[in-house]
Structure 1
């Protein structure tokens, strides 16, 4: 994609030198994660609250992994109540997504994996439930664990990023953290109070908690 197309999708236009500082910020985050984790790890990215730009950070952190041509990234939209990745990336999700896979025991995972137009970066969108509302129990199901195990083991060079729901207000993010190796918390710069950030961080296992990213793009 051209820098203009990348910017339209809220993706850091890494071909545009004018954005080098932003690109380097994500490269630094990626390098820190690689330093504290084993190969082929699963990262959960969650905002403190709605509107912090957690999906923006998840998308571009996944992208930053693909700067290394020996690595690939898979982004999974796990914010089932407010999915946004397919909208931001302008992807037609006619084949369904994560929820459809979890609800249909006969479905296969391959059709749920979409190209993004960016080399080595794939997306599994949230999809839409056939039963109306979606529940946290989707993430505690055996099928969800099987999916992540399968996605991780299929490609040794694949890094998985889960775009999660807000840490405050529901148990979904905490439940998802049990499936991840690393948790990154996103706070909206000037939006979240220190008390909110501390409360959100306290939801996660400190052994998995990598730290807080302050996002000015919220």
Structure 2
């Protein structure tokens, strides 16, 4: 590296200040502990390493992080082929797997407005209203809930029936961009409705770098998987396909 490419002292100080500012906002979030018994009962296996299935999610985590770092990506959507494939189950386990790496800041959003389920899966009561946050009424550090040092949860327990319109509003894009700038997360995971049952997914794709598609073992028909891949393929990067509800879970 030549002298011309070295950061100046002022630029280096700016980088440090920005990092410190993001950490201050993370510290201001309300922190909670997740109940291990509740997580086990809901098959959230990645909070601890007691269930061997956690290794499957750890492999998925590592592959995603490598690909995202190579391309400079930070935002991924998780969606099922149809309802009931287990996208929320995959989102929660993936987020907690990444959260075990304390140097990687992760934010998990429940964008399934008509059937929000992550709060119940994780055992979080009174999580707040995601629609209020996306409308710009709440600061991220006031809305998001922190688990440990590096995981923030953007949950919801209130149904929104005009979800497609909310998701596609410019304010939603602006709020998420602001969150990215202020909190500097390494990975943002959006749990979305199924791709074949809702237009929320296609409407939200401009806000993500790629998509994980969850297939329900013994549930998703081959033609449905093909239709889902085609719907996503020409609009975003398909990061992988996860088989759920089978004897094995893989990406």
In the superposition, the TM-score normalised over structure 2's length comes to 0.75
Contact 2:35 2:123 survives alignment (8 Å): no
Measured in 2, the distance between the counterparts of 1:165 and 1:188 equals: 14
Contact 2:213 2:242 survives alignment (8 Å): yes
Equivalent residue, structure 2, for 1:48: 81
Measured in 1, the distance between the counterparts of 2:233 and 2:40 equals: 35
Correspondent of 1:134 among 162, 165, 175 = 162
1:211 partner SS: strand
Asked if 1:109 corresponds to 2:140, the answer is yes
Q: CA deviation at 1:133?
A: 2.5
Measured in 2, the distance between the counterparts of 1:30 and 1:128 equals: 29
Equivalent residue, structure 2, for 1:165: 193
In the superposition, the TM-score normalised over structure 1's length comes to 0.86
Measured in 2, the distance between the counterparts of 1:59 and 1:93 equals: 18
Q: CA deviation at 1:5?
A: 3.9
Correspondences of 1:51-70 after superposition (within 5 Å): 51-70=84-103
Equivalent residue, structure 2, for 1:208: 237
Measured in 1, the distance between the counterparts of 2:63 and 2:221 equals: 25
Measured in 2, the distance between the counterparts of 1:108 and 1:152 equals: 13
Q: CA deviation at 1:14?
A: 4.7
Equivalent residue, structure 1, for 2:14: none
Could you list the runs of 4 or more consecutive aligned residues of structure 1 that deviate by over 6 angstroms after TM superposition?
none
Instruction: Note closer, same or farther for the CA distance 1:81–1:69 as it changes in structure 2 (3 Å cut).
Output: same
> Which consecutive unaligned segments of at least 5 residues does structure 1 have?
none
Instruction: Note closer, same or farther for the CA distance 1:4–1:91 as it changes in structure 2 (3 Å cut).
Output: closer
> Is the deviation greater in 22-31 or in 149-158?
149-158
Equivalent residue, structure 1, for 2:152: 122
Equivalent residue, structure 2, for 1:196: 224
Q: CA deviation at 1:141?
A: 1.3
Contact 2:39 2:121 survives alignment (8 Å): no
Contact 1:45 1:185 survives alignment (8 Å): yes
Equivalent residue, structure 2, for 1:80: 113
Equivalent residue, structure 1, for 2:55: 24
1:203 partner SS: helix
Instruction: Note closer, same or farther for the CA distance 1:78–1:45 as it changes in structure 2 (3 Å cut).
Output: same
Measured in 1, the distance between the counterparts of 2:140 and 2:229 equals: 32
User: Cα RMSD (Å) of the superposition?
Assistant: 2.3
Asked if 1:147 corresponds to 2:175, the answer is yes
Q: CA deviation at 1:139?
A: 1.3
